[in-house]
Amino acid sequence: MAKLKIFSPPSTPTSAFRASTSALTTTIAVSVPVFLVGGLAVQIGDELEFSPAGLGLAVSAYFGASALASIPAGNLVERYGAARVSRGGIILAVASLLGVAAFANTLWSLIAILALGAGANAMGQLASNTTLSRHVPPRRQGLSFGIKQAAIPVGTLLSGAAVPAVALTLGWRWAFVFVAALAASALLLVPAEPAAARRPAAKPARRATGALIVVGVAATLAAASANALSTFLVDSAVARGISPGPAGLSLTLGSAVCVVARILGGWLADRRPDRTIAVIAGLLLTGAAGLTLLAVPGDLPLVAGVVLGFGFGWSWPGLMNFAVVRLHPQAPAAATSITQTGVYAGGCIGPLALGTLATATNYSTMWFVAAGAMLAAAGAMLLGSHLLRASAGSGS
């Protein structure tokens, strides 16, 4: 099989700062296509003539494709190294952005092009996990993973800024071209990786695959609930008689809390690394309480529900990656590919399943079911934590 021929600069020692910067910028670059579609949904929908349901289908298809690409992407990282796959992911993301700008003429063509970006997302995320595990000292890895995952809201902010800055002046297609140029600049920040740093993929027996699947199922349930919150919050609040302004501001507040919680949670994880997954379970319990509050009428329950449900109930992905990498340093990409598949699967099925439930019943019922799913996720995380510790203790 021919080796990937992607340009890489001369090998030099990679500092923890450069590794963290690369992981941050790579994560933003590979995840921005789907966020940009969401941010420009009004303009794109008007031209391509699709409804909010069509947007939901496109986003769900993107995360579904990400789930399918996750494990193959992990194998690519273990075989070719994080630097090569990071560059490949960024190039694919840029191609996806330019493809949307040039060739998206219908909803189905948009979905097909986004699928390209979904593969880029899986490659960049898993390569970044490996970069951090290889070059950041263990005592600071929790913080580095927290900062990396805080990059996701940055992608959302970049997409929102593209609306007034470019889309409303030059048109939405030029916004994709502009963001593609920004994403391409992330190539300059990917550090070289000496051949000695590339390790062959670990044998399956050396990974606690069963425990990782349990954690992945927990991630599916939690991500499904959290993604439904960001998808349906405003419409749910308006249906209860709350104006769109306060509903939108509450989601902004929840996002800000989520960014702080992801970084602070990573900092705390460095001080108590053995308790990381137990902390995740606590965050999910808090999130379940917040989702329950969203079924209660009134402005105060709305704000509290969003802060708890989104701010804390969606602040755990960095902690999960840190915990898995810490227990599987010999194959970080292969191990996190299993749990990341769960996150992407939740992003795919959550909005579709819970949106269908809300249509058939009402939003209050949907929020109760979402809270139940997040509660079940907390239990599965605790079980996965026990299995991972047992596997580490047995040396498997």
**Claim to verify: residue 107 and residue 237 sit in the same structural domain:** no
- What pLDDT shows up at residue 273? 83
Same domain, 149 and 227: no
pLDDT band at 202 (very low <50, low <70, confident <90, very high): very low
Q: What average pLDDT does the structure give for the chain?
A: 83
pLDDT-derived band at 370, boundaries 50, 70, 90:
very high
Same domain? 245 vs 134: no
Distance CA 211, CA 196 (A): 30
Q: Is the pLDDT of residue 204 over 70?
A: no
167 & 284 share domain: no
Percent of the chain with pLDDT over 90: 34
Q: Given a cut of 90, is residue 221 above it in pLDDT?
A: yes
| Residue 387 or 77, more confident | 77
pLDDT exceeds 50 at position 1: no
Residues 210 and 185 in one domain: no
For 17-39, what is the mean pLDDT?
Answer: 86
- Looking at the fold, whether 229 and 329 belong to one and the same domain comes out as yes
| Total-model pTM | 0.82
Looking at the fold, whether 29 and 142 belong to one and the same domain comes out as yes
* Residue 7 counted as domain residue: no
Q: Does residue 196 belong to any structural domain of this protein?
A: no
* 341-365 residue pLDDT tens: 999 999 889 888 888 888 888 889 9
- Domains identified in the chain, total number: 2
pLDDT at 283: 93
pLDDT tens digits along 62-120: 999 999 999 999 999 989 999 999 999 999 999 999 999 999 999 999 999 998 889 99
> Does residue 307 lie within any of the structural domains?
yes
166/84 same-domain check: yes
pLDDT given for residue 42 in this prediction? 73
Tell me, letter by letter, the H, E, C secondary structure of 282-312.
HHHHHHHHHHHHCCCCCHHHHHHHHHHHHHH
Query: Comparing 237 with 189, which gets the higher pLDDT?
Result: 189
CATH at residue 351: 1.20.1250.20
Range of the domain at 184: 16-190
